Amino acid sequence: MRGARESKSATVRAAAAAPSRRQQSRWRREQHQQRLLYIAVAALVVVVALIFAGGLLYDNVYRANQVVAQVGPDSITATQLLDEIRPQSQALDAQAKQFGGASDQQVSDYLTQQKRSMPDQVLNDLIDVHLIQQEAARRGISVTPAEVDDKERETVAQFQASQNPAPTEEPTATPEASPTSEGGAALTSLTPAVPTAVPTVAPATTPTPVPTLEESAYGSAVQQFLDKNSLSEADLRTQLERSLLQDKVQAAVGQDQVPDTQPQVHARQIVVATSDQANDLLGQLQNGADFAALASANSTDTATKANGGDMGWFAKGMQSSKPIEDAAFSLQPGQLSSVIQDSAGYHIVQVIETDPARAVPADQLTSLRQKAFSDWLTGQRSSQNVKISLDQSEKDWILGRLGVRP
C-alpha cells in the first residue's frame, strides 16, 4: 500500500514538473479567465468611481458655476446667489425658533414657502447691487472703510438702544419757567429732573444725535446684534457698505435728474362723482361763477375743499394723478381744463399762477429725487444689459443646499 501511494505521488510530481499540453492549455485558460475577471472588476470600480466623481463634478463645479444672470460685464453664478441667500435663510430659521421651530407644521410650511421664493427675490436684489456698483464706478463714487466703521457703530448702538430702552423719568416742571407768557400762553416746560441743570430749548433744526456705545460695551453689543440677525461681521459690513453706496448713488442720480429749482404751477381743482355734475359746474365757471365758492360747496376732495380747491404749488412728478398734472402744466394762468376723469372722480382744474424756476420745498425735493432714483433703477433693470437665466433646475439646486426639497 505504501508503495502504491508513493508511486502515485511521484506521478503527480512528475506531471507537475512536466505537464502535458492538455494541462498547460487548461491552466492558461484558467489564468486568462482569472485575468479577465480581475480586469472586469477593476473596470467596474473605475466606472462607478467616474460616475460618482462626475456627479460630484457636475453638481459642485458645473452647476455651481452656472451663470444665472448677466449684468453688463458682471456674471452672477448660482454659487454667488446661494451665498447671498444663506444669511437670509439662517435669519428665517432663527426667527422660526421663536415660534416653535420646524417641529410646528405651520411654521415649517411658512419657512419652506418663504425659502422657495428666495432665489427670485434675492437675485433681483443682487442685480440691483451690481447696477448700483457699476454706476458708482462710472461716477467715481466709493465708500471708505472708515465710513463703514461709523455706520456699523451707529447700527449696533441703535440696536442696543432698542433692546435696552432707557427708563423714562417722570417729567417735572422747570422752576425757571414763568407761569405764562406775555400773551397768556402757558410756558410750563416738562423735562426729566436733572439736579442743578438749567433746561434749554434746542432749535427745531438740531439733528437727533447718533447713538454711541462705550468701547468696553461695543464688543458684546456687536456680537449680540450678529447673533440676533444670524450674520457674520463680514456679512454685516458688506450690507452696510452696499447701503452707503446706494445712498450716495441715489443722491447723485437725484441731483442730476431733479434740480433744486423747477417749473411749477399753482393750481386749484373741483372734484365730483359724476360727469354730468362736472360738466354743469364747468359751464357755470365758463359763465363767470366763482371757482373757490363752487369748490367749497361741491368738491369731494377733502384735502382741498376747505381752501376753495387750492392745491398749492407743485412740480412735475408730485401729483399722484398724471392726467391732472398734465392738464395743469398745459394751462396758462386763469385757464380752465376740460372735465378730466381718473380713479378719484371727475376733475376741473384751473391754474392760478406759474413759475419757471421756483425752489422746490425740501420734503418735495427729497420725494422727487427718491422717485427719480427708483425710476432710474427700474429702467436699468429692464435694459438689454440685464439678462436673467435662472431656471427651475438651478432654483432646485439652490433650494437643495438650503435643506428644502425641490
Task: Give the pLDDT of residue 208.
Answer: 47
- Say which residue the cell 439662517 belongs to: 90
In sequence order, which residues have a C-beta less than 8 Å from that of residue 343 and are 6 or more positions away?
Answer: 321
> What does DSSP say about strands 171-173 and 190-192: parallel, antiparallel, or unpaired?
antiparallel
- What are the extents of the domains in the chain? 19-61, 63-161+212-260+361-406, 261-359
pLDDT at residue 377 tops 90: yes
Better pLDDT: 55 or 379: 379
pLDDT at residue 244 tops 70: yes
Angle at 255 between CA 248 and CA 368, to 5 degrees: 100
Amino acid at 61: V
Average pLDDT over residues 235-243: 94
The least confident of 60-69, 141-150, 229-238, 293-302 is: 60-69
The verdict on pTM exceeding 0.75 is no
As its CATH architecture, domain 261-359 has Roll (3.10)
**Residue 39: pLDDT band with limits 50, 70, 90:** confident
**Residue 60: pLDDT band with limits 50, 70, 90:** low
The least confident of 182-196, 339-353, 367-381 is: 182-196
pLDDT at residue 352 tops 60: yes
The average confidence (pLDDT) of the chain is 82
Better pLDDT: 406 or 297: 297
As its CATH architecture, domain 63-161+212-260+361-406 has Orthogonal Bundle (1.10)
pLDDT at residue 364 tops 50: yes
pLDDT at residue 5 tops 80: no
Better pLDDT: 16 or 317: 317
Task: Give the whole-angstrom CA distance, residue 383 versus residue 385.
Answer: 5
Average pLDDT over residues 190-198: 35
Strand order in the sheet with 74-77: 74-77, 67-71, 386-388
**Which segments of 109-217 are extended strands (E)?**
171-173, 190-192
Q: Give one word for 309, left, alpha or beta, with left for phi > 0 and alpha for psi -120 to 50.
A: left
Residue 358, C-alpha cell as written in the block: 421756483
Give the pLDDT confidence of 305-345 residue by residue, as tens digits: 999 999 999 998 888 899 999 999 999 999 999 999 999 99
Task: Give the pLDDT of residue 25.
Answer: 77
pLDDT at residue 75 tops 70: yes
Average pLDDT over residues 225-240: 89
Write the CA distances from 20 to 12, 14, 25, 203, integer angstroms.
12, 10, 9, 119
Task: Give the pLDDT of residue 52.
Answer: 61
Task: Give the pLDDT of residue 182.
Answer: 39
**Residue 351: pLDDT band with limits 50, 70, 90:** very high
In sequence order, which residues have a C-beta less than 8 Å from that of residue 179 and are 6 or more positions away?
Answer: 186, 187, 188
- Give percent above pLDDT 70 in the chain: 78
**Residue 205: pLDDT band with limits 50, 70, 90:** very low
Give the pLDDT confidence of 81-125 residue by residue, as tens digits: 999 998 888 888 887 777 665 556 777 888 888 889 999 999 999
pLDDT at residue 185 tops 70: no
Strand order in the sheet with 261-272: 310-315, 261-272, 345-359, 340-342
Instruction: Specify the DSSP element, H or E, that contains 315.
Output: strand 310-315
